Amino acid sequence: MTQPRSFLALGECMVEIAPAGDGLFRRGFAGDTFNTAWYARRLLGPDWTVAYGSCIGDDAISAEMSAFMAEQGIDTGALRVIPDRTVGLYMISVDNGERSFSYWRGQSAARRLAENAEWLAQLLAGRDVIHFSGITLAILPPDGRQVLCSALAQARAAGATVAFDTNLRPRLWDSPQAMRDGLQLGASVADVVLPSFDEETGLFGDATPDDTVARYRAAGAGLVAVKDGAGPLTLWSDTDGTIRRTPAPVARIVDTTAAGDSFAAALLAGLATGQTAETAADHAMALAGQVIQAPGALVPGLFETGEFR
């Protein structure tokens, strides 16, 4: 019998409060790396387990979040319960089609993800693919970022493929320099780095996506995929060099939430199951193009036809 392989995403899943019309709101659960885990679960076969590594509280909403993850086929054995804590919450506001967000995460247990180094090492042991993001790092204190990245480096040395989505949230960082340092730290322990060019040029002053590739290549990545919205994807790998792929046009963008998260899931799932980087990137762009044509971060209807299985 084949031993199941393991995909682990690390970060913070939050309660999402989204407008539902007539002044009403709908509650859900979402978060960048959780979204990636949710899509990865639908893309990877039964010989893979998909787990979400984080900390939650011991209150009712934390228990509901854990139950939701389990219902979605995500292994919750990687969740650590911290007494007297809860989970973060964000609310979406829409004004003339533009979305803005308000956050409440002061008591979020996920901020203590790297507090217990022994638990963290056990959590990462034996994983085949580990995914984290700039948000995963941003919610941690500076010493926690060091602990997490040290543990990721050890897991990478033991054979795990580590993927890092830079995913910038400036309000979570103390300063632009702290954010630059954090991204460089995260990239230094990653095999795969997934930046967005508009964010990178704003933070680092990159003139072209090739500048972004060069920075993360120098940090030690073996594959860098620089997203640029509707513009060409710049894909560099140490086996194939630089490839540029242009995503198919999208007639109507409804909601860009989870575009990058779903892209990451499809790219990593493709690479993990033996696809070339170019083929995996094409599938990732196709999935992201479908996700942004539907409301919300999680779009289960895309998988009912089997197109993305």
Q: What pLDDT shows up at residue 1?
A: 46
**pTM beyond 0.85:** yes
Mean pLDDT in residue range 144-162? 98
Summarised one tens digit per residue, pLDDT across range 7-20 is 999 999 999 998 88
The Cα 118–Cα 151 span in angstroms is: 9
* 261 flagged as catalytic: yes
Mean pLDDT of the chain: 93
Angle in degrees, CA 54, 77, 164, rounded to 5: 40
Q: Measure Cα distances from 19 to 16, 149, 200, 257, 295 in Å.
A: 10, 37, 31, 14, 11
Of 246, 249, 248, which Cα lies nearest the Cα of 235? 246
What percent of the chain shows pLDDT beyond 90? 79
Summarised one tens digit per residue, pLDDT across range 66-120 is 999 999 999 999 999 999 999 999 888 867 656 678 889 989 999 999 999 999 9
Q: Provide the residue type at 137 as one letter.
A: L
Lowest mean pLDDT among 71-80, 147-156, 290-299: 290-299
Q: Provide the residue type at 45 as one letter.
A: G
Mean pLDDT in residue range 282-299? 89
Please report, for the chain, the start and end positions of each structural domain, with discontinuous segments joined by +: 5-12+32-86+111-301
**What's domain 5-12+32-86+111-301's superfamily in CATH?**
Ribokinase (3.40.1190.20)
Q: What pLDDT shows up at residue 295?
A: 81
What is the sign, positive or negative, of the torsion defined by CA atoms of 183, 187, 190, 196?
A: positive
Q: What pLDDT shows up at residue 4?
A: 80
Mean pLDDT in residue range 14-38? 91
206, 255, 261, 282: the active-site residue: 261
Q: Is the pLDDT of residue 301 over 90?
A: no
Mean pLDDT in residue range 226-240? 95
The Cα 241–Cα 163 span in angstroms is: 19
State both tokens at 62.
Answer: 């934390």
Q: Is the pLDDT of residue 307 over 90?
A: no
Confidence class for position 296, pLDDT limits 50, 70, 90:
confident
Q: What is the largest CA-CA distance in the chain?
A: 55
Q: Is the pLDDT of residue 146 over 80?
A: yes
Mean pLDDT in residue range 250-273? 91
Other C-beta atoms lying within 10 Å of the C-beta of residue 20: 10
Q: What pLDDT shows up at residue 294?
A: 83
The H or E element spanning position 95 is strand 89-95
Confidence class for position 3, pLDDT limits 50, 70, 90:
low
> Would you list the DSSP string of 212-275?
HHHHHHHHT-SEEEEB-TTS-EEEEETTTEEEEEPPPP-S-----TTHHHHHHHHHHHHHHTT-
